Amino acid sequence: MILNSLKKFKFVASIFDKMLDRVKQLIGEVASFKTTNTEEVESFRIKYLGSKGILKELFSEFKNVDPASRKEFGQALNNLKKAAEEKVEALNRVLENAIEEKGIYGDLTRPSEPIELGSRHPISLVKNQIIEVFNRIGFTVSEGPEIEDDWHNFTALNLPEYHPARDMQDTFFIEQDPDILLRTHTSSVQVRYMENNEPPIRTISPGRVFRNEDISARAHCIFHQVEGLYIDTDVSFADLKQTLLYFTKEMFGKSKIRLRPSYFPFTEPSAEVDIYWGLETETDYRITKGTGWLEIMGCGMVDPNVLKNANIDPNKYSGYAFGMGIERIAMLLYQIPDIRMFYENDKRFLEQFKSVI
């Protein structure tokens, strides 16, 4: 009986020694493993650390090990695991650096000429052109967040709670919180600007805006705007009209505009600006629907409530604001028939703007 159990113990002990040897040998193998191939790193990882890997198998042997030797065996296994994990990490780091270096130096065997020039996106081209025109008469550029709160996008702009523009149809809300939304216009930037700056204010706010609209050839749920704001003592509607005239002359080379009465909650009076495009070509007929006139933006005198909301004294100051869609103007200038082309990143479309700076 005693002999029997002794034998058994010896047997267990020798299995244990063998297993320990195997673990040590595996640690050696892990240490000497080398590769610069992503797939080989992955198959190494699966071989050792995968859910059916060597380590899993060895750990499952744990229960068969004599309790007295478990500690030693456990430590050996942990060493192996650590070695395998560190190896995978180190190999991946080398691979990542190699990719980065390749990115920096590119393919050194490529011929140096001709260097292919990229092109600016038509939205950027038109945006920069608009900014430049307004820069010349003293407007600076201001930008603000695309994720806005209700105050800056609506409430401060005199948009009462029941206003249709607040409808779920038009506004993207963030995670069901009715206070946080994607801005529907860059007028929100103007509110921020007024809150943080004293008049005189002359600023334009270009940026991306979002509206929950069906996508079609004429409309998209993401588009770009440039909005302008001028606040000083004695600013009149005549100042607004003169500025718009200057802009249309510089931007389109057209010097006839008309202002049609309109409504915006944040301006009073408000107007829609049309430019006389002319009726010289067939395209002119098509884009102006045979009238010769084209609507290009909205404008008006800043409502005194809006000034008050931004801590500007409406008895001392007055101002005008205007806003236009960049896509619409780019479509006119470059005769682009479908607004979706701006966002498809089709090289054939974008390449056509190569010669424009």
Residues in contact with ligand PHE by the rule CB under 6 A: 185, 187, 227, 264, 267, 298-300, 321-323
Q: What is the DSSP string of 137-193?
A: TTPEE----SEEEHHHHTGGGT--TT-GGGSTTT-PEETTEEEEEE-SSTHHHHHHH
Q: Under a CB-based contact definition with an 8 Å cutoff, are residues 58 and 19 in contact?
A: yes
81 versus 328: smaller Cβ distance to ligand PHE: 328
Quote the least distance from Cβ 227 to ligand PHE, whole Å.
Answer: 5
Quote the least distance from Cβ 135 to ligand PHE, whole Å.
Answer: 19
Tracing tokens 């939205």 back to the chain, one arrives at: 123
Q: Under a CB-based contact definition with an 8 Å cutoff, are residues 137 and 177 in contact?
A: no
Q: Which helix (H) or strand (E) holds 228?
A: strand 222-232
Instruction: Return d(Cα 175, Cα 179) in angstroms, integer.
Output: 10
Quote the least distance from Cβ 186 to ligand PHE, whole Å.
Answer: 7
Q: Under a CB-based contact definition with an 8 Å cutoff, are residues 334 and 310 in contact?
A: no
Quote the least distance from Cβ 158 to ligand PHE, whole Å.
Answer: 11
Quote the least distance from Cβ 270 to ligand PHE, whole Å.
Answer: 6
19 versus 227: smaller Cβ distance to ligand PHE: 227
Tell me the C-alpha to C-alpha distance, in Å, between residue 88 and each of 41, 45, 56: 7, 6, 17
44 versus 342: smaller Cβ distance to ligand PHE: 342
106 versus 261: smaller Cβ distance to ligand PHE: 261
Instruction: Return d(Cα 261, Cα 267) in angstroms, integer.
Output: 11
Quote the least distance from Cβ 320 to ligand PHE, whole Å.
Answer: 8
Instruction: Return d(Cα 70, Cα 302) in angstroms, integer.
Output: 80
199 versus 300: smaller Cβ distance to ligand PHE: 300
Which residue of the chain is nearest ligand PHE when measured via CB?
Answer: 323
Quote the least distance from Cβ 145 to ligand PHE, whole Å.
Answer: 16
Q: Under a CB-based contact definition with an 8 Å cutoff, are residues 277 and 287 in contact?
A: yes
207 versus 300: smaller Cβ distance to ligand PHE: 300
26 versus 186: smaller Cβ distance to ligand PHE: 186
Three-class secondary structure assignment of 342-355: HHCCCHHHHHHHCC
Tokens standing for 4? 């029997």
Quote the least distance from Cβ 47 to ligand PHE, whole Å.
Answer: 60
